[in-house]
Chain A
Amino acid sequence: MDNLRQIKHLHARAGFGLSFEDEKAAGKHSIKKAIAAIFKASENEEPINSVQVNTDYAMLAKGDKDAKKQLMQMQREEEKALNVAWINRMSTTDAVLREKMTLFWHNHFACRSKDSFSAQQLNNIQRTNALGNFRELLLEVSKSPAMLQFLNNQQNKKGHPNENFARELMELFTIGRGNYTEQDVKESARAFTGWGFNKDGEFIFRQPQHDDGEKTFLGKTGNLTGEDIINRLLEQRQTAVFISTKLYKYLVNEIPDPAHVNAMADVFYNGNYEIKPLLEFVFTAPWFYQEQNTGNLVKSPVEFLVGMNRQFFITYQKPEVLLQFQKVLGQVLFYPPNVAGWPGGRNWIDSSSLMFRLKIPSTVLNGGLIDFKGKADPEEEAYIAANRNQQVTVNSKVQAQPDWDRLFKAIPAGTTNQQVAAFLLQTNLSKTLTGELSNAPDIKTAIIQTVSTPEYQLT
């Protein structure tokens, strides 16, 4: 594989794709330098601060009908703003690896929160620790109000344990199914009793609610605390295997290669769960650049949208269009289907979502209309009922503006339609597409055609 193809592949996986603008500079680098540059650019860990006030919704909910309606409206506005803020961040930041990994942890620690302040807080925990230490990340996530609320640990009290958090901690966050017993769930739930949060969105340990009796967890006995449980889980090499497997599926191939995953797990486990060295290991491994590991992952809807935004510098007059796209494509940020996250891969693709993917580029890049609505999330039902909304089919202008001038400036003179297409895709050009491209009257048409293909869905 030539150098530019390697660098394109690296950016496709470690970020959201290489842009024409970065091509020139990137082409000169060795792959080693390109990797170093990606890590360097992601040192910036600036949090998102779209939701600035921690509104006490519980107080507002006690108000009259109008107050409640207003409250729901406010919540929706905050949710929308947070969603768009993150999409914009991913679409414009240089710290692409940090955002790509934040998206990974967003799905790994899948969580829903009605309170956008908490949702943002959790998102920032995932961002700050995205390339840091997994133990730190896990601990902070476990203590975040959003997660404590989502997995009912607020109700986990001595004598009345709630096992929800303890179960998901093992099943989904660390060692995975089949590596613990029901008794381990029970014992560890007791260890997390008293973990809660206050009105100000801060973690608190409520000593009186904590069960400090003796527990036996994964073969270890003592007056175990929540921290002890987390440490015990990290002592299991299986946690390193579990995370490595998931990361391999995200960055390399949906079908894990046991030898590769095992090597990753060694790096992760022996390196005390540092995330950055693990990623460096992956990006420098020869197998990462093998033909069978390129152009074969189905982009998630967010990767698809962000990738276009980055390549074409798209500004949306109506940011809600971005939400509508997420909805019809099946991935709304902060709204995972359940605590297991989005299943990904081929699950993204069905007849309708594929047709939307093939149609969206021409609506965004060529001033088209959207005539689809998508489904309401089940959690939107209260709003729909209160506002007597029936979702109706919309026919509205997307009102998005790509910056063609900027793009054309980045494409060297004399570049053929086929070369442009080859750069935009991670797969080989098919005969049909090559033929279609020869007939395209100009580069703009060639670009829109390329982005409207099944090939463009792969990264």
Chain B
Amino acid sequence: MKRRDFLRNTALASGALMIPAFLKPFEAMAMDGITGYKNLVVIQLSGGNDGLNTVVPYGNDIYYQKRNTIAINKPDVITLNEMQGLNPALSSLKEIYDQGWMSIINSVGYPNPDRSHFRSMDIWQTGSESNQFLTTGWIGRYLDANCATCKNPYTAIEVDDSLSLAMKGAKMKGIAVEDPYKLYQTTREPFFKELVHDHTDANLNEDNLGYLYKTMAETYSSASYIQQTSKTYQVTGEYPATPMGNQLKTVSKFINSGLQTRVYYVSLSGFDTHVNQQNQQERVLKIYGDAVTAFIKDLKKTGKLDDTLVMTFSEFGRRVEQNASNGTDHGTANNVMIFGGKLKKAGFYNDAPDLAQLDNGDLKYAVDFRDVYATLLDKWLDVNNSQVLGQSFKGLDFV
């Protein structure tokens, strides 16, 4: 029997604990291809989610004064501490919070905030200053950065049919996969197959034609890898039948099948609630909360929660005071929610937003969003954040 076969068989037969200590490094190596990956799942809430009606500062009278028709009534708030609690539409998350798998960072934003959707989303996705225009996204630049596991497009997967700017680097780009089988089928059309196969010579050129063929070949092989790998795993957890439920179910399939992916990206629309906010926001929050809860429970069951970190953001929060149409207008700082099995600081990361000291009716930011990114980059994705963010950020301690 060969030495490696022996090790594998031993591990299977007797369990990892039986392996003598001096053999551990081998075991770690053998396992690396299957479980060694720490995953980041980014959830984007598009439209500017109203953070104050998501994580409700029910302990602050100003909140009720400024929002006389759309405030969440105290008895309805899912209380988390004496100051803040969750919107009732997020009731499923209470259990996750109580388990210590959720952390809420209040008042996340950036200097000189921009209140237009597209610009602020651009800033969050590229990680730029508010007066700076970058053509690459922060996850894309993570792929560009010199990291050993970033050789393939599927290192970052967006579960969607098109790719966000966040996922595009200068040299490397992630890949959009809404349905692995569909992508696989698309790339297997006989005509494309011929083109890809015969272009091993031309595709090595550095010119644009070479780049196109390289992208085509990478898509071709990534589609195959993703389909062949992910089809081996059937998700057992139950997910709500919503688009976001399906997206996170797909992410679970990818993670549990051992796909060598570090970052997943999903988004949910419908948060731009200028008019009659309550029904609409609670409808989308429920879609979000129920899907995330299902996802976290599923990962816990499969033993992957400790290797997974989920971050939810929106391009901005909304003004503290409601408008005349029972809605809220574009604001600035907002909360960011983090989920994971190994949080260093579960619960509330920092103080509730200050509703008394406002900047022209808007919350002042207390945490720069790039400090959140820096934490993820340094402590979870193993790159130096300055390589990705263009300057060094100190980062936070939630993980």
Contact = CB atoms under 8 A, between A and B. Distances in A.
Contact of A65 (B182, B267, B280, B325): B325
A287 interface: no
A358 B215 CA distance: 12
Given A337-B122, A347-B168, A382-B47, A453 B276 contact: no
Given A374-B162, A377-B118, A378-B118, A389 B270 contact: yes
A446 to B, nearest CB: 11
Contacts of B283: 388
Contacts of A390: 242-243, 269-270
B216 A354 contact: yes
Contacts of B198: 430-432
A328 B153 contact: no
A346 interface: yes
B171 to A, nearest CB: 10
A392 B160 CA distance: 11
Interface in A373-404: 373-379, 381-382, 384-386, 388-393
Contact of B209 (A328, A378, A386, A454): A454
Given A65-B276, A296-B208, A354-B212, A376 B46 contact: yes
Contacts of B272: 381-382, 384-385
B345 interface: no
Contacts of B119: 338
Given A385-B274, A390-B270, A330 B280 contact: no
B307 interface: no
Contacts of A340: 133, 135
A338 B133 contact: yes
Nearest to B277: A385
Interface in A405-449: 427, 430-433, 436, 449
B187 interface: yes
Nearest to B242: A390
Contact of A354 (B161, B219, B280): B219
Nearest to A298: B208
A27 B181 CA distance: 48
Contacts of B213: 454
A432 B161 contact: no
Nearest to A336: B118
Interface residues of A, number: 64
Contacts of A388: 270, 280, 283
Nearest to A163: B131
A382 B274 contact: yes
Interface in B127-149: 131, 133, 135
Contact of B271 (A356, A385, A427): A385
B228 to A, nearest CB: 17
Contacts of B211: 346, 349
Contacts of A74: none
B215 A381 contact: no
- Report the contact-size class of chain B (Cβ under 8 Å from the partner): 35 or more
Contacts of B215: 349-351, 354
A359 interface: yes
Nearest to A378: B117
A233 interface: no
Nearest to B167: A350
B99 to A, nearest CB: 29
A297 B208 contact: yes
A59 to B, nearest CB: 15
B194 A432 contact: yes
B191 A452 contact: yes
A135 interface: no
B48 A351 contact: no
Nearest to B178: A393
Most buried by A among B117, B162, B187, B222: B162
Contacts of B280: 385-386, 388
Nearest to A373: B161
A458 B209 contact: yes
Contacts of B275: 65, 68, 385-386
A457 interface: yes
Contacts of B163: 350-353
A295 to B, nearest CB: 8
A352 B209 contact: no
B197 to A, nearest CB: 8
Contacts of A112: 118
Contact of B269 (A391, A431, A433): A391
Given A349-B212, A350-B173, A454-B216, A381 B270 contact: yes
Given A385-B270, A390-B270, A347 B135 contact: yes
A346 B206 CA distance: 12
A68 B222 CA distance: 46
A338 B160 CA distance: 23
B162 A353 contact: yes
B273 interface: yes
Nearest to A340: B133
A392 B269 contact: no
A335 B122 CA distance: 13
A436 B194 contact: yes
Interface in B314-357: 315, 325
A292 B198 CA distance: 24
B165 interface: yes
A455 B276 CA distance: 50
B48 A381 contact: yes
A189 B142 CA distance: 37
Given A68-B275, A354-B215, A375 B133 contact: no
Contacts of A433: 195
Contacts of B176: 350-352
B144 to A, nearest CB: 13
Given A337-B118, A454-B213, A355 B219 contact: yes
B79 interface: no
Interface string B278-292: 001001000000000
A454 B164 CA distance: 22
A448 to B, nearest CB: 9
A376 B46 CA distance: 9
A271 interface: no
A346 to B, nearest CB: 6
B359 interface: no
A379 B212 contact: no
Interface string B284-320: 0000000000000000000000000000000100000
A268 B162 CA distance: 40
Contacts of B178: 393
Ranked 3 nearest A-B pairs via Cβ: A381-B47, A378-B117, A381-B272
12 contacts: A337-B122, A350-B174, A350-B175, A351-B218, A352-B163, A355-B186, A376-B46, A378-B47, A385-B47, A389-B270, A433-B195, A436-B194
Given A296-B208, A349-B211, A351-B215, 18 more contacts: A112-B118, A296-B207, A337-B118, A338-B122, A340-B133, A350-B175, A350-B215, A351-B175, A352-B163, A355-B187, A378-B47, A378-B117, A381-B48, A385-B270, A386-B275, A430-B198, A453-B195, A454-B216
